[in-house]
Amino acid sequence: MPAVEIKNLNFIYSKKTPFEKRALQDINLTVEEGEFLGLVGATGSGKSTLIQHLNGLIKLQDKKRSSVVVNGMSATDKKSLKKLRFEVGMVFQYPEYQLFEDTVAKDVAFGPKNMKLDKDEIDARVRRALEVVGLEYDKFAERSPFDLSGGEKRRVAIAGVIAMQPKVLVLDEPVAGLDPVGREDILSLVKKLQKEVSPTIIMVSHNMDDMARLADRIVALKDGCIVANGTPKEVFCDRKLIEDAGLDLPAATRIADKLIARGVEIPSDIVTMDALSAELGKALRSRITVAAKANDGVSEEDENV
């Protein structure tokens, strides 16, 4: 059973008004359990609208034709919708803006309390969630979330989501507004959460380097339609599609293109810096070998003369 199955999903904002705006058009998408899906697309392409359907924050407009099913539970059915809210952990952009309790522990406990768990279970989950996001319980639990650094606040907000132990974790631009170190910290945390809490990840990002490095599969939206669905290599190697969808190429791909144009012999499907440095190492080694052989040839000839 796939973790997420979306069929024929359409969505129109301000339907039947002069401000009508079609945000999603015939979306069909399956996400397998254990997959890290990167959702990309220019601003306004429908990414946030799509992910908000996964836990019923946005209701289906055409229940007869469309369906959204997560772990076998339908987002149209009222009963399963309640459960779905806990099965799909949603980390919004700038999640720290949603912190509101006077202590970190109370904030993280908000979700588990809504799940009507008993007190011991709630305490255990709060403790574990804080440890998982790298905030020592004894040091942070009783502090006000508003006195923390930006990165710490974001961790508290993420802890609040994973305390519900969601099976699917959806993150809408989780590193927006962070400095490079903060970005790396949160991205490594997301990978860790996939291993330890939520096996299926759907992450929205405008950063193609992050997507190329982290995602198993990339889905690109344009004007509410899926225009690409494949591995990072498949998607980024289709240069026309990338241009049409208004996306950037990963930096490694741009550098590789320039090097290839200058005659460096490396493959044209490089999408990560790791792959680029490995291929450059190989190309350099083979040039050194060729040069060494040429030198050997010269010296042998010299000796013969």
Ligand X SMILES: Nc1ncnc2c1ncn2[C@@H]1O[C@H](COP(=O)(O)OP(=O)(O)OP(=O)(O)O)[C@@H](O)[C@H]1O
Q: Which residues bind ligand X (CB under 6 A)?
A: 13-14, 21, 23, 41, 43-49
Residue 155 vs residues 105, 112, 122, 205: alpha-carbon distances, Å: 12, 17, 18, 18
Touching Mg ion, residues 76-115 (CB under 5 A) = none
Most distant CA atoms of the chain, gap in Å: 92
Using the rule CB under 5 A, which residue among 48, 52, 61, 103 binds Mg ion?
48
Closest CA to 129 of 147, 148, 107: 107
Residues paired with 21 in a beta bridge? 13
CB of 202 to ligand X, least distance (A): 13
Closer residue to Mg ion in complex, CB, 143/206: 206
Closer residue to ligand X in complex, CB, 219/275: 219
Q: How many CB atoms lie within 10 A of CB 235?
A: 26
Which one of Mg ion, ligand X, none is in contact with 45 (Cβ closer than 5 to 8 A by kind)? ligand X
30 binds Mg ion (CB under 5 A): no
Closer residue to Mg ion in complex, CB, 48/165: 48
Token readout for 247 is 């996306």
52 binds Mg ion (CB under 5 A): no
CA dist., res. 67 & res. 147, Å (int): 43
CB of 119 to ligand X, least distance (A): 38
25 binds Mg ion (CB under 5 A): no
CB-count burial class (<10 Å; 0-12, 13-18, 19+) for 179: exposed
Q: How many CB atoms lie within 10 A of CB 83?
A: 14
Closer residue to ligand X in complex, CB, 50/237: 50
Which one of ligand X, Mg ion, none is in contact with 267 (Cβ closer than 5 to 8 A by kind)? none
Residues within the interface to Mg ion (CB under 5 A): 48
